[in-house]
Amino acid sequence: MRCRSAAWFVGPALLFSSLAGLAAPARSAEAMPMAGQLRTSAPALAGSDPITGPRSHLNRDWIGLRPAEADTPILVLAGHADSQGIAGSGTSGAAVAAGAPPMYPGISDELYWNMVVAEAVVALGQQRGLRISTYRPPFRTISDGNDPGTNWSVGRQHAAAGGYALEIHFDAWGPDGVGSGLIPPLHRPFGRLDESLAEAFGGFPMAFRGGLGGPRRGIALLEVGKLEGRLERSLRNPATRPDTVLAIANRIVTALEVGLGRGPTTTAQPLTPQPGGVGSALPGKGLQASSGGE
């Protein structure tokens, strides 16, 4: 069943209400591992990051070596954008599980933050000259994961045409979550975009959970961090939200720049929402759980 709801259209005015006038954080957003050089072995990234919390402790059994063209088109997707109210709607986050109100009625807190970060990444990436856009489905619930409008379908088409499809996620809180890291796409040899994101956030095994639906369709899944603790508090607190979102978006965009072989840009200008959603692709006809139960 497809569900059309105004709650799905959490438009730029709302998403950017906490991001308006963003500038570079007073502290460097790069209080995080970032490597501009491709390594010949998977880097050991253990422990906890000061912004995104615990990193994946699982063995990363892949290395991204395939070069990417500097003008590779990048599509950024918000995980669980098409699976609300059904299995695979995304984590509630520790705060909601403890009784706090959700960030927005009718959608999981994970989807809310997935959308906020995805739009911030696209705004910052466009500002830095990347060929980057986002896709927001017009339906928030689609029971068929292979419907032409799902994240899965739109992302697969983009990847098959030679682009890079990246789906933003926050991992589950508590013992069900693993931590931050990239789950790489499985449709072709791993590339430098995959490697750069894994160096910035950590990495998951290539066949995590037996091979997830998104990666099997050529979509990279980025777990920003577990939606709990300091990361969740920093996102929910209006005083720290802008710096936190910008720091995450900056790390993602910088990793994309490095993976594309471009020199990372260090200047962050205020992020200004564009009419209809930042870099939005043309709306599709519907969608579902783009990443199953992640």
| Domain residue ranges of the chain, discontinuous segments joined by + | 66-294
Q: Which residue has the tokens 């910008």?
A: 246
Name the CA dihedral angle for 274, 117, 291, 95, rounded to a multiple of 10 degrees: -130
**Mean pLDDT lowest among 200-204, 212-216, 222-226, 247-251:** 212-216
Task: Give the type of residue at 250.
Answer: N
pLDDT value of residue 281: 31
Over residues 49-76, the pLDDT tens digits come to 999 999 999 989 999 999 999 999 999 9
The most distant pair of C-alpha atoms in the chain lies apart, rounded to whole Å, by 48
Q: Which residues pair with 171 in a beta bridge?
A: 226
| Architecture of the structural domain at 66-294 | 3-Layer(aba) Sandwich (3.40)
pLDDT at 212 over 80: no
Query: How high is the pLDDT of residue 159?
Result: 95
Predicted confidence (pLDDT) per residue in 75-89, tens digit: 999 988 787 888 778
The token pair at 82 is 């098409």
CA angle 118–209–196, rounded 5-degree value? 45
Query: Is 287:88 a contact under the CB 8 Å cutoff?
Result: no
Q: What does the pLDDT read at residue 83? A: 75
pLDDT, tens only, 113-167: 999 999 999 999 999 999 999 998 877 877 666 777 788 899 999 999 999 999 9
Tell me what the mean pLDDT of segment 95-120 comes to: 96
> In sequence order, what are the residues at sequence separation of 6 or more whose Cβ sits closer than 8 angstroms to the Cβ of residue 275?
12
